[in-house]
Structures are given as C-alpha cells and as structure tokens.
Chains A and B, each alone.
Chain A
C-alpha cells in the first residue's frame, strides 16, 4: 500500500499569497495517477488536478500541480477567498486508492 504524507498540516496565509502544498509517497507513484482534491466544509471533495499536472475542467489556472516519483506539489499562485479549504492528494492507479491526510489552508 502506498502511503501519502502531506505537509504542512496547516498553512496560514493571506489572500493573494502563494500556497505551496507537498505530497510525498512511500514509494514511487506513476505521475499519470496522482490527483489533488479540494474540500470545503459540508461538501464532497472536488477534483482539481489529475495526472499530477493536468487541471480538471473548470479549475482556474492559479492552481497548478507538479512532481514525479515520490514528491508532488500543488501550488495556488494567488489565493482567492474561496480557496481556503482542505486539500488532499491521492494516487488512483490501483487499489487501495490512498489519500494523504490533508492540508488545511486557512486565512491568516
């Protein structure tokens, strides 16, 4: 089973600032199968990035993903008020499709 570890646990930033979220895998993950999700309170997660770097339909270009092997990054280039939420990474190539524990991006 691939274990995904996200850091930091919480990121306190102001609107307009850049957010950099990390996801580290316990073993190499095919970049084709690494995703990032955003979740707001009381809502289902929303797919942001798939294949490590491809934006899902309708996702603003301030969201970008990068990385390969065991290290992946989600970057939000300038935080908008609606971006304050919890973010999860996931590998989805095979079961179990494990998730990281999440990074909360909160308003400073």
Chain B
C-alpha cells in the first residue's frame, strides 16, 4: 500500500524557516517524481514544487522560488522541503504528492499545516 506521511509543519514567525519531510512507503521511491502542493485556508490548490526521481531536476513556482528548496534522499525514501524567509502568505496545508505520468496525482499525503504568524 502506497503511503505518504508528512511531518515538520507548525507555527513559525515571519522571516523564519521550517523543513518539511515526507516519508514514503509501498513503492520504489526513486522511480517517481515527487511534488509539493499547498492549500491556503479556504482557498484552492497550488502546485509549488517538484523534483524528478533522481533528484536531478527541480521546479519551483514563482511564489516560492529563491526561498524554498526541494530535495530527496532516495536511500531513506524521504522527500524534503526547506522553507526559508517565510511570509504570512505561505500559511497553508502542504501536501506531498506522487506524480504518476498517466494518472496525475493519484497518491497524496494527509498534509501538514504551516502557519506563519507573529
């Protein structure tokens, strides 16, 4: 059974940093691109970052470029999201998602809430 389990969310002050982790199981982690999708309270879904299976290529939305870094450790089956210079508008539930080429986002984590507030 495919499972994605995020951790690391919490309350952080503006300008602060946080690292999210996503522990994956039930599939060969290195075979899949992994993405981060966020959802601000009461809002829609935003694709913010992606990384290929090897980790050799990444994508960032303009809203997070230069502040956030996606990475992965295939030996630990874990995806990371290092968030720095956090702003109030980064407040959201962050989902770890596996990209399946044919079907899209079939598997989602349960989400972890990041709140940026003083």
Contacts and interface: CB of A to CB of B under 8 A. Distances in A.
- A, B in one complex: yes
A45 interface: yes
B105 A45 contact: yes
B104 A90 contact: yes
Contacts of B50: 95, 97
A46 B50 CA distance: 19
Contacts of A99: 44-47
A88 B47 CA distance: 13
Q: Which has the most chain A C-beta neighbours within 10 Å: B35, B104, B109? A: B104
Given A44-B111, A97-B35, A50 B44 contact: no
A96 B46 CA distance: 9
A44 B47 contact: no
Contact of B102 (A46, A51, A100): A51
Contact of B45 (A50, A88, A95): A88
Interface in A61-108: 88, 90, 92, 95-102
B45 A47 contact: no
A92 B111 CA distance: 20
B46 A50 contact: no
B103 to A, nearest CB: 4
Interface of B: 35, 44-47, 50, 59, 61, 95, 99, 102-106, 108-111
16 contacts: A32-B102, A35-B104, A44-B110, A44-B111, A45-B105, A51-B102, A51-B103, A90-B45, A95-B47, A96-B59, A97-B47, A97-B50, A99-B46, A99-B47, A101-B44, A102-B44
Given A35-B105, A97-B99, A101-B44, 6 more contacts: A44-B110, A50-B102, A56-B103, A90-B105, A97-B104, A102-B44
